[in-house]
Amino acid sequence: MRILLTGCSGQLGRHLAARLPADGELVQTDHNGGDFQCDLSDRRLLDKTLNRVKPDIIVNPAAWTAVDRAEDEPGTAARLNADMPGWMADWCAANDALLLHFSTDYVFSGASDRPWREVDEPAPGNVYGRTKLEGEQAIMASGARAVIVRTAWLYSHFPGNFLSAILARAGQGQPLKIVSDQIGSPTWAGHLADASLELIRRTEALPPGCSLFHVAGDGQMSWHEFGSMAIERALAAGILERRVPVEPIASASWPQKATRPVWSVLDCDKYLQFTGRPVPSVARGLDECLQLLKESACSSP
Ligand SMILES: NC(=O)c1ccc[n+]([C@@H]2O[C@H](COP(=O)([O-])OP(=O)(O)OC[C@H]3O[C@@H](n4cnc5c(N)ncnc54)[C@H](OP(=O)(O)O)[C@@H]3O)[C@@H](O)[C@H]2O)c1
């Protein structure tokens, strides 16, 4: 089985690359890395790539993930998040391939009193969420065999995410102010990659067409609670030497261009029922991620 992995230099892409079979049947691509470089926002280049690789499965974590910048560059975000998955799905439909695609909790409004289920009506409140929803809809309309995995609050030991940002500041002894009125499910990219493999292993059991699953860390908490937990566990793991104050603040005191949902906890029961495997807890994800961070710090010159 030949697998094409996009976005292989991104945080989820790197965890997927480490887990997908590396026996010559895995082909990796990214803007600036992998087996070859490809700008996926160019349909002609994408089709050329697909016709050359002829994958049985496309695993597609590539996306425009700059949530605030999407407000200023909606056209570019839409090309990556809405058009590109649709083009991939069209190719899959015409070539009997499967598309595994990733979407976001930000397709939801935030107005709920229970975790969001796959059947709940999306109502995105920002450009990023809207473009990701349009991507889902394009895949569903294509008729391709596809799995869409919505996840939330993704983090890893690589630079460029919430966890790495707060640990970097705390490591310099700087106090932290973290938003406490947005509640979600922080998800370690390693656990999401594991869950993706579980789904790939079970594709034969999927119904025809497109299936949608929610996969996020088991637990619900604010960014402030997650940040506080991360600081405590980083201290326990010896990654931080000193405790820094972690002050809760309101979203209104931390203005961001894109509005975030106040409640974006995902209900992952459908994934559990289908695979028989629960998504691990937020605390476990954090510990596994911090262990990798420690190992990578020890191995760097
Ligand atoms: N991050 C989160 O908190 C979060 C939350 C919910 C859902 N998700 C979804 O989860 C998935 C993975 O997210 P992530 O955080 O791992 O993303 P990421 O780290 O930002 O990685 C995205 C990858 O896509 C590549 N890419 C972007 N534009 C491209 C283009 N035109 N051509 C080729 N490659 C391109 C990027 O390469 P360059 O860096 O070189 O541009 C990067 O390697 C995405 O679908 C995202 O929407 C993420």
Over the stretch 183-211, which tens digit does the pLDDT of each residue have? 999 999 999 999 999 999 999 999 999 99
Fold category of 3-154+187-218+264-280 in CATH: Rossmann fold (3.40.50)
Which of the listed residues 154, 156, 191, 279 should we mutate to test ligand 1's pocket, taking the one with most ligand atoms within 8 A of CB?
Answer: 154
- For helices 282-299 and 223-236, give the axis angle rounded to 10 degrees: 50
Domain ranges of the chain: 3-154+187-218+264-280
Per-residue DSSP letter, 280: P
Over the stretch 244-267, which tens digit does the pLDDT of each residue have? 999 999 999 988 999 999 999 999
Distance 208 CA to ligand 1 centre (A): 27
Residue 24: the pLDDT is 61
Question: Is 155 in the active site?
Answer: no
Distance 11 CA to ligand 1 centre (A): 7
Rounded-to-integer distance, Cα 69 and Cα 131, Å? 13
Over the stretch 103-136, which tens digit does the pLDDT of each residue have? 999 999 989 989 999 999 999 999 999 999 999 9
| Residue % of the chain over a pLDDT of 70 | 98
